[in-house]
Amino acid sequence: MNENKNLTILLVDDEPIGIKVLERTLKKEGYHVITAYDGPTARTIASKNQPDLILLDIIMPGEDGFEVIRQLKEDPRTVHIPVIFLTGKDGVDSKITGFDLGAVDYITKPFHGQEVLARVRLHLQLSLATNTLISSQADRLRQIKDAQESMLVSPEDIPGANFGVCYQSLLEAGGDFYDVLQISDDIYGYFVADISGHDIATSYMTSAVKALLKQNCIPIYQPAESMRMINHVLEEILQEGKYLTACYARLNRKSETMSLINCGHPPAVYIPKNGDVELIKLMGDVLGAFHDVFFEVKDIHVRRGDRFFLYSDGLIERPGDKNVWTKGLEDLSNACRDLRDMPVVDAVACLRDVMHQKTKVFEDDIVVLGIEV
């Protein structure tokens, strides 16, 4: 470590003399030292100052070292800070308890200055190496996320499709996907899917699905034919146990028809300009799991100003609720009804926010795709 002056160590001990000795030893090596004489103060300082390492005495009045580290490791702001125990006890049980609670090492009193410095250097080096590795991995995941999102079409790319979209991935690489295609001058396709799993391999599937949509959602194929052809390819390339749920909508402005297909996905929301909200519940198999699949198709005669919302199940799920869709669908219908006069490009984000207030926490990726005829 050549940059000791940039590294901060928090000393926690109820004995002022012990703290002074350690403080002097560490400061001679260029470390910035902060001190605390009790557990609650130490936790407050650790949360605020984010030290690079904590030297923590076990035996203290009130909140002992074991309780301090327990709370430090339960706090997301301090869980990453390495802790070395300072102990006058040399018993195995005490050491095991400390390690079980998350300590990286221990130093037995009375202290030897060179031992303290050696252990401090070692664990700062390990922490730096770990943080560098985590940062590198996070950068790579962000690159995957950026590449994934760069494939997603925006309303400005296809203005004639007249849609708005809100996309939110829970992790760096999401499993939800959407696409909007201009099939011909007057025909547009809208697709929302949820790919099973949330691993890196799942994120790579989005490019394959996008290519399949472009190849198979063309004027010569009816919507059900397009989905069956996509299903046959996915059946060949997906790993065992992997599949997609999806909702596909094809709008023909010339014939004023919206054709809807559901592939094991939550029902689309239909809002006629002069009518009440309707959930379009259709039967259909998931994509990629079976060779012989069935898709129910619903053709709706639409008028200018009618709206549809396609979305992924993360929008309506209730964490801990066994029946994850029922209550969520009711709330979704009410929210769509309340937002029917808002421009569709704005309504999608507002819909996400309204549902977030109901759900309290999202535990899955979210896509909300709004379409206005």
Number of domains in the chain: 2
Do 227 and 365 fall within a single domain? yes
Q: Using one digit for the tens of pLDDT, what is the confidence trace for 299-321?
A: 999 999 999 999 998 888 866 55
- What confidence tier does 1 reach under pLDDT thresholds 50, 70, 90? very low
pLDDT tens track for 221-258 = 999 999 999 999 998 888 777 899 999 999 999 999 99
Domain boundary among 142, 170, 196: 142
Query: Same domain, yes or no, for 180 and 329?
Result: yes
Residues 168 and 134 in one domain: no
| CATH, residue 123 | 3.40.50.2300
| Domain of residue 235, residue span | 151-372
pLDDT digit string, tens, across residues 281-290 = 999 999 999 9
Tell me the pLDDT band of 141, cut-offs 50, 70 and 90.
Answer: very low
Secondary structure of the chain in HEC code, one letter for each residue: CCCHHHCEEEEECCCHHHHHHHHHHHHHCCCEEEEECCHHHHHHHHHHHCCCEEEEECCCCCCCHHHHHHHHHHCCCCCCCCEEEEECCCCHHHHHHHHHCCCCEEEECCCCHHHHHHHHHHHHHHHHHHHHHHHHHHHHHHHHHHHHHHCCCCCCCCHHHCEEEEEECCCCCCCEEEEEEECCCCEEEEEEEEECCCCHHHHHHHHHHHHHHHHHCCCCCCHHHHHHHHHHHHHHHCCCCCCEEEEEEEEECCCCEEEEEEECCCCEEEECCCCCCEEECCCECCECCCCCCCECEEEEECCCCCEEEEECHHHCCCCCCCCCCHHHHHHHHHHHHHCCCCCHHHHHHHHHHHHHHHHCCCCCCEEEEEEEC
Same domain, 92 and 165: no
pTM: 0.62
CATH of the domain at 190: 3.60.40.10
